[in-house]
Amino acid sequence: MGRSRTGESVRVRSPTEECVQGAEGGVVFGMVIELSALYVIALILATIVCLATTFLGTIQVLYISVYITQSDRRLFILYLASTAPFVSMLSLIAMYMPRIWFLSHLLSFLYFSVALWIIICLLMQIFHGHHSLVSKLSEHLQHIEVATPPFCCVFPCLPKVQLESKKVRICELMVVQAPCVRLLATFLSLVIYFEYQEKAFVILKVLDFATLPSLLAGIYGTHILVTTVSRLDELISYRYVVVFRILDLFFMFFGLQQPVFDFLARYGVFGCGTVLPAIETSFFWKNLLTVIESFFVTLISSILLQPSKSSFFDKHPSCRSMTSRNSHTVDTNETST
């Protein structure tokens, strides 16, 4: 603490705080001009990769719009297909305007949380609702698989749970509450951040920690449902598990990057830059990594989920021919019996 010329108390920040958080109130208007060649190359690379991701995402949207008949199924898949382009664009914007990295992260995390619910909505749509799904499960299975991530890593010997409609509903509620809690947390985080700026980070970390059980419960409920239902043959032709695994791994990498880069920044790995403070420098590179990851997610999903390989695209010629062949095989078998 010190005193200003007017006699008021002024808090003097330590050199470490100054390096990590930067000078208070100073917006870096000349950032692009002052950037080194490395940062300029990173921005150019991120822009090109983001445009490529958006291009691939647009092609996916066109295929989804043309080759999927049912409107609700089409809407769910459109949301999931837009995940990587949306996250990529937010990360690119945060690279050009580093001070909004926090807003970019919040909106991306909210999108992922809703995607957990959407992936289960898509599952229910495939089986025409909760009761139909439970009925189908009861015909083939007796237990719900609860030894799934993230808790199977801590509790590897979790017992099998008897399959019941009520327990499946509980898993659905575990998934639904995650985006609801995340939406509330996002709103509170934005209010706190814009009110207190840099002074709000301790409160925001406490809020993040408080909402972590909700997120873990949502992820756990999603894994239980998908792992249990994946044993049914009806899902194979849709490649639904592939859709889930891509989203799950993307969310995992995105969620882990935030604390890792924050830790590296606060322990001086990124030094004390002349243009950006260490915390914003770390998230600049974290956002570049996210842009690159988003491109590979879009590319891999485009290859693995081609209309000719997934029954989601029921209007695609290859899907219709495959369906007709299957029905012909069934008719032949019935005739022979």
- Give the pLDDT of residue 251: 94
SS (H, E, C) 45-80: HHHHHHHHHHHHHHHHHHHHHHHCCCHHHHHHHHHH
Q: Identify residue 146 by its one-letter amino acid code.
A: V
| Whole-number average pLDDT of the chain | 82
Beta bridge partners of 144: 161
Q: Which residues contact 335 (CB under 8 A, 6 or more apart)?
A: none
What are the strands, taking DSSP E only, across the chain?
Answer: 2-3, 9-10, 143-144, 161-162
Asked if the model's pLDDT at residue 154 lies above 70, the reply is: no
Q: Which residues contact 204 (CB under 8 A, 6 or more apart)?
A: 189, 192, 193
- Give the pLDDT of residue 103: 87
Q: Which residues contact 197 (CB under 8 A, 6 or more apart)?
A: 24
Neighbours of 307 (CB within 10 A): 19
The average pLDDT across 266-284 equals: 76
Residue with the larger pLDDT of the pair 155 and 228: 228
Verdict on whether the full-model pTM lies above 0.85: no
Residue with the larger pLDDT of the pair 7 and 293: 293
* Structure confidence by residue, pLDDT tens digits, 166-212: 989 999 999 999 999 999 999 998 888 888 777 777 888 888 889 99
Residue with tokens 């509980």: 170
- Give the whole-angstrom CA distance, residue 209 versus residue 232: 36
Q: Which residues contact 207 (CB under 8 A, 6 or more apart)?
A: 185, 188, 189, 192
Q: Tell me the pLDDT band of 267, cut-offs 50, 70 and 90.
A: confident
Query: Which of 144, 149, 145, 147 is CA-nearest to residue 116?
Result: 149
Asked if the model's pLDDT at residue 62 lies above 50, the reply is: yes
Asked if the model's pLDDT at residue 336 lies above 70, the reply is: no
CB 107 within 8 A of CB 190: no
* Structure confidence by residue, pLDDT tens digits, 214-265: 999 999 999 999 988 988 888 888 999 999 999 999 999 999 998 888 888 8
Residue with the larger pLDDT of the pair 282 and 175: 175
Asked if the model's pLDDT at residue 328 lies above 70, the reply is: no
- Give the whole-angstrom CA distance, residue 70 versus residue 229: 21
Regarding the domain delimited by 36-318, which CATH topology (the fold level of the hierarchy) does it fall under? Answer: Rhopdopsin 7-helix transmembrane proteins (1.20.1070)
Return the ∠ at Cα 59 (arms to 101 and 102), rounded to 5°: 5
* Domain ranges for the chain: 36-318
Return the ∠ at Cα 98 (arms to 201 and 104), rounded to 5°: 70
The average pLDDT across 24-41 equals: 60
- Give the pLDDT of residue 202: 82
